[in-house]
Each structure stands twice: as C-alpha cells, then as structure tokens.
C-alpha cells in the first residue's frame, strides 16, 4: 500500500533531481576543506541568510549544540523557551556535553518569549549565579503550532540581548517556512541573530544535513567543535549536493505546503470530533484534539488511519500534529480527509 505520510516533514525523501545530483557530485575531503560541493553549499547558505560564513553539519541538533558551545562556557546559562526543541528534544546535550545550564522561560501562545520574562531571567553579577550568555529563539515554533516569529519581534529580542551583552541564536530548523508564511526575505527574519541553524531536510527535502551560519570567527570555532563531536566528514559532497537543490529550488515552493495544510484543516473542521487549535495551521503544521465524547483515543485513531493508507503520529492520548510537505499533494490531502471522516464517524 502507498501511504500518505503526515507524521512529520522529516519523512521526506530526496527528489529524483537530488538523487542524480548526489550521484554526480564533485567531492573532496571536507575536513581539509577540499570538497567543492560543500564549499559551494556553505557559501550559498551564508549569502542566503546574510551572514559571513556557514558550516554544514549532519543534523539540526548538532548545529544547535555547536552554537551553544561556541557562545557559552561551562557553567554559563542560556535563556530558552519552555516549549523549545533545544530544551525538550535534544537529549540534554547542552548540559551533558557543554556543562551549560538552560533557563526556561514560558513560551506564549504565539511562540514568543515575553520580553519582560527574558529581561527578568538575565542573571545579576552575583558569585552565586551562573552567567547568562545567550538567548535562544525557535522559528517556526513547533510545539506552539508551527507559528512564525515576526521580524519585528526578533529585532526587539536582539536589541534586548545587545543591551545586556548577550548573544542571540535562532533555532531556525524551519526558518524558510517562517519566511514563506510572512512573505519576507529570510535575511530580514535573522538579521538580529549572531547565529542561526536551519535544516536542509524537513520541508527542503534533502535527505541529510543542516547549516549553521554566523561570523567567520564563530564558524571557525564551530568547525573545531564539530570535529570534536565527530561531525567532521570526508567526501560529504554526495549529500551536500542535495542541499544545493534545497536552497536553489525548495525554499520557493514552501507556500504550496502551507496551502495544502490549510486545505487539510478546512476538511478536518467539517468532521465531528475534531477540534482544531485556534488559528491552526500557521505554516505546514496542523494541531488538533479529539473531542472528549469520542470513544477512540489518538493511538487507536492512528492505527485505523494506517489501515486506510494514511500515517499520522499522536502527540498525546487525544491530540495530533499533522505535517504537510513536498510529498503531500492535493490528492493526498483528499485521501487524508476522507480517511479521518471514515475513522471518526
């Protein structure tokens, strides 16, 4: 059976064009900086985000960890969202490997961190306290509904950080989704940031890899730490080639994924027992709950959806997150709506 997979945009497989480019990629030893395909990708990533330099990393989790390790010393503190990926879903790497203490601040419904909360979380110069070094934002904010953070908000956080001698890092795993939703050049969204990580996989369809961008000095240090963490790869142009197509072609089509998410949400609203989050979808993610009176829980619904050829991933016992991506077209949306209708009614 051919499945419609709505579990995540991480399930995307490379396009035929990407596979061909990977097979034909010119390669060299990237640790020696000899891989022309990687060098081209890093230059392109830095230019697209308006930063001086970039480094290719195997995953977004490694990219975020490298940023934290460059910005902070052992015993320092980073202000993060209480619902952020770097705090909840990166295996505690900042603490285990960096000795860095997270200071969680409540995420607002729109994914932001209140400026007053950030300000109140900055430590005073007291020998009993860790030193606050960094503020970390997530754009789009996944758990808050895939909501994009605006350029104005990010600018204000950047100003607050600079006033207090802090750096600003953006976990931009889906930053190009944010740019598409806000109809902005991605450079505007990340201009205040000292460093940004973004994924080439997920909505940009590459099979592997993320980028970390910042100043030349920042990336030089990140390159050393990448080697320390085991991320120094050799003839990595075979996967970087797909990333070039991600930046050249896939960023411009993300609006299609958002349109498919809206169509899917419109269909779900008509099904009894589905309670969509207010405003959902903001980008390519749909969050909804099952009505209390519904006899099936989310895992049971997921199992029955699979029997109808649709893969979904429960977010809780009565909650779902659905994610549209390159391989979810109009026909797939219609199939998913029909399947939910059959399972829930």
Which CATH number do you get for residue 152?
Answer: 3.40.640.10
Whether 123 and 133 map to the same domain: the answer is yes
d(CA 221, CA 203): 29
d(CA 210, CA 58): 6
Whether 133 and 276 map to the same domain: the answer is no
**Could you give the strand order of the β-sheet that contains 53-57, starting from the edge strand earlier in sequence?**
53-57, 210-214, 195-199, 167-171, 132-138, 77-81, 101-105
**What values do phi and psi take at 293, rounded to 5?**
-75, -5
- Kindly tell me the sign of the dihedral angle through the C-alpha atoms of 110, 112, 115, 117: positive
Whether 42 and 67 map to the same domain: the answer is yes
Structure tokens at 304: 């029955």
Residue segments in the chain with a per-residue pLDDT below the cut of 70 = none
pLDDT, residue 124, reads 84
Whether 147 and 40 map to the same domain: the answer is yes
The pTM score is 0.96
Structure tokens at 100: 């860095």
Name every residue whose Cβ is closer than 8 Å to that of residue 181 and which is 6 or more positions away in sequence: 140, 148, 258, 282, 283
Whether 245 and 291 map to the same domain: the answer is no
Question: Where a domain ends, among 217, 251, 285?
Answer: 251
Q: Tokens 């460093």, residue?
A: 195
Whether 295 and 229 map to the same domain: the answer is no
Whether 183 and 116 map to the same domain: the answer is yes
Q: In terms of C-beta density within 10 A (0-12 exposed, 13-18 middle, 19 or more buried), how is residue 183 classed? A: exposed
Beta carbons of 138 and 110 less than 8 angstroms apart: no
Whether 119 and 235 map to the same domain: the answer is yes
Whether 123 and 22 map to the same domain: the answer is yes
Whether 241 and 263 map to the same domain: the answer is no
Give the CA distances from residue 254 to residues 37, 163, 227, in Å, rounded to whole numbers and listed in that order.
Answer: 24, 35, 33
pLDDT, residue 214, reads 98
CA 257-258-260 angle, 5° bins:
65
d(CA 291, CA 297): 10
Question: Where a domain ends, among 222, 251, 280?
Answer: 251
> At 288, which CATH number?
3.90.1150.10
d(CA 259, CA 284): 8
Whether 336 and 220 map to the same domain: the answer is no
When divided into structural domains, the chain yields a total of 2
Structure tokens at 280: 């959902």
Whether 207 and 319 map to the same domain: the answer is no
Residue 15 has a CB neighbour count (10 Å cut-off) of: 18
Structure tokens at 250: 């896939």
Beta carbons of 50 and 92 less than 8 angstroms apart: no
pLDDT, residue 132, reads 98
Measured distance between the N- and C-terminal CA atoms of the chain, rounded to whole angstroms? 23
Q: State the residue range of the domain holding 297.
A: 4-10+253-344
Preceding amide of 291 cis, omega within 30: no
Question: Where a domain ends, among 236, 251, 266?
Answer: 251
């Amino acid at each position: 059976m051919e499945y419609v997979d709505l579990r995540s945009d991480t399930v995307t497989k490379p396009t035929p064009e990407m596979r061909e480019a990977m097979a034909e990629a010119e390669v060299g030893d990237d640790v020696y900086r000899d891989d022309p395909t990687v060098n081209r990708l890093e230059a392109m990533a830095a230019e697209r985000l308006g930063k001086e330099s970039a480094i290719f990393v195997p995953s977004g989790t490694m990219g975020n960890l490298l940023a934290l390790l460059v910005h902070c010393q052992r015993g320092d503190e980073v202000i993060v969202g209480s619902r952020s990926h770097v705090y909840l879903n990166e295996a505690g790497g900042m603490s285990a490997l960096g000795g860095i203490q997270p200071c969680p601040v409540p995420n607002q419904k729109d994914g932001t961190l209140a400026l007053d909360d950030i300000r109140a979380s900055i430590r005073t110069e007291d020998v009993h306290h860790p030193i606050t070094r960094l503020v970390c934002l997530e754009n789009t904010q996944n758990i808050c509904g895939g909501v994009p953070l605006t350029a104005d908000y990010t600018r204000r956080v950047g100003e607050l950080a600079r006033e207090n001698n802090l750096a600003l890092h953006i976990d931009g795993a889906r930053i190009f989704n944010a740019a598409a939703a806000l109809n902005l050049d991605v450079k505007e969204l990340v201009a205040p940031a000292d460093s940004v990580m973004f994924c080439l996989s997920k909505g940009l369809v590459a099979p592997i890899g993320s980028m970390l961008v910042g100043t030349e000095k920042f990336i030089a240090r990140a390159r050393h730490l990448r080697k320390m963490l085991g991320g120094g790869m050799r003839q990595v142009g075979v996967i970087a080639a797909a990333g070039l197509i991600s930046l050249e072609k896939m960023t411009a089509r993300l609006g299609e994924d958002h349109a498919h998410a809206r169509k899917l949400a419109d269909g779900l609203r008509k099904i009894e027992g589905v309670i969509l989050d207010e405003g959902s979808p903001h980008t390519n993610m749909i969050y909804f709950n099952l009505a209390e009176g519904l006899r099936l829980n989310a895992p049971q619904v997921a199992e029955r959806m699979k029997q109808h050829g649709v893969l979904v991933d429960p977010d809780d016992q009565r909650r779902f997150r659905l994610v549209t991506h390159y391989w979810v077209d109009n026909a797939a949306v219609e199939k998913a709506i029909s399947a939910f209708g059959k399972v829930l009614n």
